[in-house]
Structure 1
Amino acid sequence: MTVLRKFWILIFGILALLMAFGGRYIFSLPFLMMILPLIKTKAGLTLFQIFRIWNLLQILKRSGRFNFNSSNNSSNIERMSKAEALKILNLNPNKTYTKKDIINAYKKIMKKVHPDVSPELTRLASIVNEAKEVLTKNIS
């Protein structure tokens, strides 16, 4: 009886340690999955769409096209390269695209970043517009 009692004390001790160190991750996952459909911004963007917009912002920030601190367009004086435009529209630079493919990719992104969806995304929408113009100009 004492061996069984010590076994259960050991098991519950290990379980308590597991919950103390990993519980905040283990137990937050079901809660997150439960509220994930409920978390939407006023504009109706899902978390996946917010992540995609954040990813696009990071690409633009790395390329120097988008500055979070200034609202003027002084950083956008030089023209966008074809490689940057392909990255912005999430297109593979190793493939060739028709004008229709570029327009479809443009529409897919603009559904998420259009100024009507959220006025804060106006600058981002203008960059996506410029990317489309650069790519369609190279095709025509």
Structure 2
Amino acid sequence: MNIIIYTLVILTLFYFILKFFSSISPKKISKSLRLLIIIGSILLAILFAIGGKYLLSLPLTLVSLGLMKLKGLSLFQLLSLYRLIQTLRNSGRYNFNQSVTPNNSAMSVEEAYKILNLDMNKKVSKEEVNKAYQKIQKKIHPDISPETARLSSIVNEAKEIVLRNIE
């Protein structure tokens, strides 16, 4: 008999919760959920930092900063910036330990397309190259952060190589 009563209570609560959510605007739900995720990730980052797990607190901190859109960086933009840095590190053109990496070899056309997130097999126009360049520069321009000056110069070089290849 208790199971039936508990089931009725749970279903009644579930009904009222769903009714409540159906009356709220989706924008308000999204805003509340975003705030809940931000607060939760900040609290988890603090708990991990207090516990000495700094490597676990760093991604949570980046996620919370991305969700708050500090300096205009969203989570998606942080991931694309990370991908750009990894591409440059794999090609040996960027190193975290040194501010300027020796540039002994010229950048290949393939690397330039990859840096600008363009498809090498597809014919691209100057406008597409400039759009891709501007999209990346908005994230890494030295005026936004002085630490990204080297990245910005590499992206400039990639743009020039792709534009020369088009002509």
TM-score by length of 1: 0.70
1:46-65 alignment runs, 5 A limit: 46-65=74-93
Post-superposition Cα deviations, 1:30-58, rounded to whole Å, max 9, x if no partner, equal: 832678675233x3322221111111111
Question: Structure 1 pair 61/38, CA: closer, same or farther in 2 (3 Å)?
Answer: closer
Q: CA deviation at 1:65?
A: 1.3
**Higher relative contact order at CA 8 Å, sep ≥6: structure 1 or structure 2?**
1
Rounded to whole Å, the distance in 2 between the matches of 1:71 and 1:116 is: 16
Given that residues 39 and 47 in structure 1 are in contact (C-alpha distance below 8 angstroms), is that contact kept between their aligned partners in structure 2? no
Given that residues 113 and 124 in structure 1 are in contact (C-alpha distance below 8 angstroms), is that contact kept between their aligned partners in structure 2? yes
1:1-140 alignment runs, 5 A limit: 4=3, 31-32=36-37, 39-41=68-70, 43-74=71-102, 76-140=103-167
Question: Structure 1 pair 84/39, CA: closer, same or farther in 2 (3 Å)?
Answer: same
Q: Identify unmatched segments of 5+ residues in structure 1.
A: 9-28
Q: Quote the RMSD (CA, aligned, Å).
A: 2.8
Amino acid aligned to 2:117: N
Q: CA deviation at 1:81?
A: 0.5
Given that residues 67 and 74 in structure 2 are in contact (C-alpha distance below 8 angstroms), is that contact kept between their aligned partners in structure 1? no
Given that residues 142 and 148 in structure 2 are in contact (C-alpha distance below 8 angstroms), is that contact kept between their aligned partners in structure 1? yes
Post-superposition Cα deviations, 1:70-116, rounded to whole Å, max 9, x if no partner, equal: 12331x22110011000100001211112222112111111111111
Amino acid aligned to 2:37: L
Q: Identify unmatched segments of 5+ residues in structure 2.
A: 8-33, 41-63
What percent of counterpart residues are identical? 48
Show structure 1 runs of 4+ deviating over 2 A.
33-41
